[in-house]
Amino acid sequence: LYNIGRYFTSNRRTFQYLNQSIDHTIDHNTSRFFSGGDTVITADSAPSGTTFTFQNNLNDRGSFGVLGTGTGDGNATLNTFFPGATYVANAQVAGVSANYSSYPGNFFPANEAAVGFVDATNKDWHLAASSTLNNAGNDGLDVGADIDTIESAVTGCGYTGVTSGAQRATDYETE
């Protein structure tokens, strides 16, 4: 999956698991939230999956980060709903690192400015050369989505302002 957006469901849940998580890998995504009540991962009813990998993603924490029914943000949810999960090389903006202590190797920028986007105001989600997330993925690539690949893929698909302006090709907001 390669996505940029405000949120992907009407309830502001970037990724939602309601039953089973069988062999899922979520790798190199970037998503942003703009209001409270949001989660990066929401889980309900313990999945019976064999593997769950969440790596190299760049997300705002929102109000709850990784949250499951009856569990707290981070360790409690991952251990309950995704036992044995790989959760590494993710950047959770405004996240609480202590909540993910069982999953070392993640990043917790204090705010959007600390991420180091080229120009978030104008929706340029490339990482600046000075960003600590450059080449910081567990695969040696930048944390988050490959913005060049997304923009190249949607060029000519009816989106305007692919490289600049009010609406960029990577600005998939669903309001």
> What is the model's pTM?
0.81
User: What is the percent of the chain with per-residue pLDDT over 90, rounded to a whole number?
Assistant: 39
Q: What does the pLDDT read at residue 36?
A: 55
CB 171 within 8 A of CB 145: no
H-helix segments, the chain: 75-81, 112-115, 147-154
Q: What does the pLDDT read at residue 9?
A: 46
Round the average pLDDT of the chain to a whole number and report it: 79
Q: 15: left (phi > 0), else alpha (psi -120 to 50), else beta?
A: beta
CB 64 within 8 A of CB 38: yes
Taking residues 118-125, report their average pLDDT.
86
Q: What is d(CA 82, CA 85) in angstroms, rounded to the nearest whole number?
A: 5
Taking residues 87-111, report their average pLDDT.
96
Could you tell me the two tokens for 120? Answer: 């978030």
Q: What is d(CA 77, CA 89) in angstroms, rounded to the nearest whole number?
A: 18
